[in-house]
Structure 1
Amino acid sequence: MATLDVFVGNFTIIDFELYDLWLNGLSDVDAAHVLQKGELQHCPWVTIEDIVSEVHDHYRLFNHLEKILKNPTHLADQQIHQIDAEAQTLLIEKYYQFDEVVIREIIGKKLSGRNRKDLDDVSEKTRRSIKKCRRQFDNLKRVFKTVEEMLGSLVDNIKTHYLISADLARKYAALVFIANNRFETGKKKLSQYSLLTFIKCANQMITNWSYSADECKSHQDMDVDLDRKFLQDLRDLKPLLEKESIEEHRSFVLQALRSSISRRALQDLEDNFKNISKSIINIAMGLNHSREVRDIFIDIYEKVSY
């Protein structure tokens, strides 16, 4: 008489290869064909129907988990699926990752239902599935709505509420900052600049120009906004435009930058210092006006780039 040992458990195994295909917006049938052409190509006894059925089961799990992933702090508390901590972290991180080309098309636009309906154009231009574009749009909007009025560090608030890595949280913080201050990034003349360029600039603004900057005297611990007092104080830079101040200013700036930029860039700055300095100071003096703040990247491109 044969003996059969049976083990029954409820530990949930996440197939992250299928999870990636699901995140990319592939249907269960399309995902099944990818598997058939990949790791299962040498298994002729496994039919496409069998693979579709298996993928469908995994997709049903992912669709259920998606409701929880919109509030990641609930993932560890839910009792339906027992998922180990490492898998939980990876599920969340992958869900909130984004394509730079997709978000580059989205930033600078209002995160409204109307613009969400126009994501077909973004999908066609970036060659990403409409489902993937919508998920990234919705994730950005959700993060923005969660932290836009919170006191404290944007990065820390995002990490706390969405449990993503510090690196990804910094990127989202920059995107929230850009959206909150309505910086213009969509003009054709700015199309040559990548998303990472804007993220780097925004993070510098958060560190040095927001209410949480070390030099801020307003003590409003909220770095989603620019420090208005700081922007108003920039009007005091006007004396630097006067002839008698230029040489001293030039010497100070060149000395400060000597070890942080290339020799060629330093030479270009030295050769064109008067014009560059005048342009930067005029931009700075105008930043106490909301319109000038929104157009800062355009102004830098038009008046500072050489």
Structure 2
Amino acid sequence: MANVDIFVGNETLIDPDVYQLWLDGYTAQETAQILQKRGILQQYGATFDMLLSDTLDHYRNFFVLERYLKNPVLVGDQLLMQISPQTQAMLIEKYYEFDSSVVRELLGKKLTTRQRNALDDVSDKTRVPLRSCRRQFDNVKQVFKTVEEMLGSLVDNIKTHFLLSDHLAKQYAAIVFITNNRFETGKKRLGYLTFPDFVHCANEMITNWSYSSKDCKHHDDMDQDLDRDFLIDLRDLKILSEKEHLDEHRVAVLKAIHGKLSTSAAVELDHNFKNISKTLINVASGLNHSRELRDLFEDFVDKFIDPCKQAKWTQNDVKIFLQAYAEVAQQMHVVRSNSQLLKVWERYTGTISSCLIQMYHP
């Protein structure tokens, strides 16, 4: 007699629209009403009771899956539901996605129980349902707690433990980096900055200023920690504030950008180059102090961006100036003859130029 193996399968159907509404924090009743307004009853010739019953079935599945979604590597191992790999990836990615407006409110704050209990204010301000705000808070906290002490790339660690896309992992990496280094992001004068602004700046600093930077002397390989030796070496840039080097720098920069700036920016730079240059170098030399490091974004806005706005610089003016400011100094003998100073200058100006251009919203 022949032996026959029989397998009966029944793949769990996931409705992406219902799943998204569940993630958005709506109840099953609210979701059914939203779908009704979208015309789904006419599309399938169904009644509202049928739609609500189907929605409740989906919600029961989502609540069962949620315990696995909190530890995404288990989603593929669970045996309660048969879900295709493509659907698994969608479920995980969508679960960890967030509203930029919500995370902007959380950015830089301690992820405490007290903070979670205050999410009503975040919900009211962002108009995102409280349930969704809580899910987003819990996800940010879990990612942070999971990877904060890990060696290696933040992005790679997040992708490995949470199975997220590169794009979403980079956003979480920025959140972890900003939270770990306690950067001030909540002051009123920083309110105009968007979450993407902070993501851009954080990832620039991770790449160029952290222990895992290719220019780091050590091999601690921790993205979330800044290279302390680099921060200390930044004090050496003070030499460019000495009168003879400052004058040389000024003349060379003005020559390099002659005719390229708007009239208002050209006039301002001609009169205030020394103050602008000293500001950028003073910010650098203070970054080895924890307090000044935490205030970096505020210093950028207060000491460079706001004065440039008042002088009616365009974003292109800022871009042209910063490029010339960095490149001209690299050709000065005092910098070119000192390979260590040159590397520190490149690491500093390359990153702040990218950040300042991103943060400059005329």
Q: Same fold (TM over 0.5)?
A: yes
What residue in structure 2 maps to residue 119 of structure 1?
119
What residue in structure 2 maps to residue 145 of structure 1?
145
Q: What is the distance in 1 between the residues matched to 2:88 and 2:219?
A: 37
CA contact (8 A) 1:152 1:221 kept: yes
Q: Counterpart of 2:32 in 1: which secondary structure? A: helix
Q: Counterpart of 1:42 in 2: which secondary structure? A: helix
Q: Counterpart of 2:42 in 1: which secondary structure? A: coil
Task: Go from structure 1 to structure 2 and tell me whether the alpha carbon gap of 1:134 and 1:219 turns closer, same or farther (over 3 Å shift).
Answer: same
CA contact (8 A) 1:207 1:213 kept: yes
Pairwise CA distance, 1:96: 0.7
Query: Cα deviation per residue 1:24-52 (whole Å; 9 max; x = unaligned)?
Result: 11100011111222232426963322211
Structure 1: where are the runs of 5+ without partners? Answer: 1-6
Task: Go from structure 1 to structure 2 and tell me whether the alpha carbon gap of 1:253 and 1:157 turns closer, same or farther (over 3 Å shift).
Answer: farther
Q: What is the distance in 2 between the residues matched to 1:169 and 1:208?
A: 18
What residue in structure 2 maps to residue 240 of structure 1?
240
Quick check: 1:58 aligned with 2:71?
A: no
Structure 1 letter corresponding to 2:187: K
CA contact (8 A) 2:41 2:51 kept: no
Pairwise CA distance, 1:16: 0.5
CA contact (8 A) 1:25 1:129 kept: yes
What residue in structure 2 maps to residue 301 of structure 1?
301
Query: Cα deviation per residue 1:77-107 (whole Å; 9 max; x = unaligned)?
Result: 1111111111111111111111111101110
Q: What is the distance in 1 between the residues matched to 2:276 and 2:104?
A: 28
Q: Counterpart of 2:208 in 1: which secondary structure? A: helix
Query: Cα deviation per residue 1:95-122 (whole Å; 9 max; x = unaligned)?
Result: 1111111101110210111000000000
CA contact (8 A) 1:170 1:203 kept: yes
CA contact (8 A) 1:119 1:130 kept: yes
Q: What's the TM-score, normalizing by structure 1? A: 0.91
Q: What is the distance in 2 between the residues matched to 1:82 and 1:28?
A: 23
Q: What is the distance in 2 between the residues matched to 1:157 and 1:136?
A: 19
CA contact (8 A) 1:154 1:173 kept: yes
What residue in structure 2 maps to residue 21 of structure 1?
21
Q: What is the distance in 1 between the residues matched to 2:236 and 2:15?
A: 59
Q: What is the distance in 2 between the residues matched to 1:255 and 1:168?
A: 43
Structure 2 letter corresponding to 1:115: Q
Pairwise CA distance, 1:263: 4.9
Query: Cα deviation per residue 1:191-234 (whole Å; 9 max; x = unaligned)?
Result: 01111111111111101110011111022110101111110111
Structure 2: where are the runs of 5+ without partners? Answer: 1-6, 309-362
Q: Counterpart of 1:89 in 2: which secondary structure? A: helix
Q: What is the distance in 1 between the residues matched to 2:54 and 2:35?
A: 11
Q: What's the TM-score, normalizing by structure 2? A: 0.77
What are the within-5 Å matches in structure 2 for residues 77-156 of structure 1? 77-156=77-156
What are the within-5 Å matches in structure 2 for residues 68-83 of structure 1? 68-83=68-83
Structure 2 letter corresponding to 1:181: N
More helix by share: 2
Pairwise CA distance, 1:9: 3.4
Task: Go from structure 1 to structure 2 and tell me whether the alpha carbon gap of 1:255 and 1:153 turns closer, same or farther (over 3 Å shift).
Answer: farther
CA contact (8 A) 1:269 1:276 kept: no
Q: Percent same amino acid among aligned pairs?
A: 57
Task: Go from structure 1 to structure 2 and tell me whether the alpha carbon gap of 1:267 and 1:207 turns closer, same or farther (over 3 Å shift).
Answer: farther
Q: Counterpart of 1:303 in 2: which secondary structure? A: helix
CA contact (8 A) 1:216 1:227 kept: yes
Structure 2 letter corresponding to 1:86: Q
CA contact (8 A) 1:18 1:55 kept: yes
What are the within-5 Å matches in structure 2 for residues 276-287 of structure 1? 276-287=276-287
Q: What is the distance in 2 between the residues matched to 1:145 and 1:249?
A: 46
CA contact (8 A) 1:218 1:229 kept: no
What residue in structure 2 maps to residue 288 of structure 1?
288
CA contact (8 A) 2:41 2:47 kept: no
- RMSD of equivalent CA atoms: 2.2
Aligned length: 296
What residue in structure 2 maps to residue 4 of structure 1?
none
Pairwise CA distance, 1:275: 1.7
Task: Go from structure 1 to structure 2 and tell me whether the alpha carbon gap of 1:250 and 1:127 turns closer, same or farther (over 3 Å shift).
Answer: same
Task: Go from structure 1 to structure 2 and tell me whether the alpha carbon gap of 1:286 and 1:51 turns closer, same or farther (over 3 Å shift).
Answer: same
Task: Go from structure 1 to structure 2 and tell me whether the alpha carbon gap of 1:199 and 1:242 turns closer, same or farther (over 3 Å shift).
Answer: same
